[in-house]
Amino acid sequence: MSATAEITAAIIVIGDEILSGRTQDVNIHFLAKELTKLGIPLREVRVVPDVADEIVAAVNTLRQKFTYVFTTGGIGPTHDDITSASVAKAFGLEIHRHPDAVKLLEGHYAPGELTEARLKMTEVPVGATLIQNPISKAPGFKIGNVHVLAGVPKIAEAMFDAIRPTLQGGPEIHARTVSCSLGEGAIAARLSAIQDRFPDTSIGSYPYFTGSGGGSGTALVTRGTDLARVQAAAAEIHAMILDLGGQAENI
């Protein structure tokens, strides 16, 4: 946790399939939205390969820097699933078969189906608590401030739903968006002046192109914990765009 005790988060995506381009990650976007709603700003994401040393290094760097760390991926039964062992190594802990996890899988699989491979999914660092998985039963876990989630998006989402009530959020982060017909270059100088007058809000400027036959413009987003200030900054931006001869829409 930072010196100011601001509540923050980081994500570690563990997966060769993201780095190889096989899979488009969607977990970062889901977690980013959910954490923002909880007033927990996401400050960093790392995508690392299925390599123990890389996972250990990322876990140890980020768990010391941020309030919460969430990992996705690598908790299945196959040889390339090394997240549990790597997170245990990062904490200097042994892994064991968590008795509650074994019970969960015993209840889920038919007799004789609970193979050694599947039992691997019950292995968590000693002292870890389980995160429920209502979809395919094999649980995630929490150790220290690190939450280990599945990589399959539906399961990652269900696991996050399970831990949401346990997360301590900061003040809600409000956002307002003004979409306008002007390009960034036309508004940059006056937008910067508005940002200077609203140092307690963060103003982002995002150009967009909707295709060769479509339009282009800029989305201007004000963010902050003080809703009145966020709204006031958005109102100033709206007025500025009209004053510059553009069209503006609050979205």
Residues that bind a second copy (CB under 8 A): 13, 16-26, 28-36, 41-50, 54, 76-81, 109, 113, 115-118, 120-121, 135, 152, 154, 173, 175, 184-189, 191-192, 195, 202-209, 221, 223
What is the smallest separation between the CB atom of 71 and a second copy, expressed in angstroms?
14
- Of 33 and 97, nearer to a second copy (C-beta) is 33
What is the smallest separation between the CB atom of 196 and a second copy, expressed in angstroms?
8
Q: What does the H/E/C string look like for 97-134?
A: ECHHHHHHHHHHCCCCCCCHHHHHHHEEECCCEEECCC
What is the smallest separation between the CB atom of 51 and a second copy, expressed in angstroms?
9
Cβ neighbourhood burial of 23 (10 Å; 0-12, 13-18, 19+): middle
- Of 145 and 202, nearer to a second copy (C-beta) is 202
Spacing of C-alpha 97 from chain mean position: 28
What is the smallest separation between the CB atom of 78 and a second copy, expressed in angstroms?
4
What is the smallest separation between the CB atom of 121 and a second copy, expressed in angstroms?
8
Distance separating alpha carbons of residues 151 and 139, to the nearest angstrom:
12
Give the containing element (helix H, strand E) for 159: helix 153-163
What is the smallest separation between the CB atom of 127 and a second copy, expressed in angstroms?
26
- Sequence-ordered list of residues with C-beta below 8 angstroms from that of 66, at least 6 positions apart, any chain: 1, 8, 9, 10, 43, 44, 145
The answer to whether 96 touches 123, Cβ cutoff 8 Å, is yes
- Of 49 and 170, nearer to a second copy (C-beta) is 49
- Of 80 and 100, nearer to a second copy (C-beta) is 80
- Of 48 and 143, nearer to a second copy (C-beta) is 48
- Of 101 and 187, nearer to a second copy (C-beta) is 187
The answer to whether 93 touches 144, Cβ cutoff 8 Å, is no
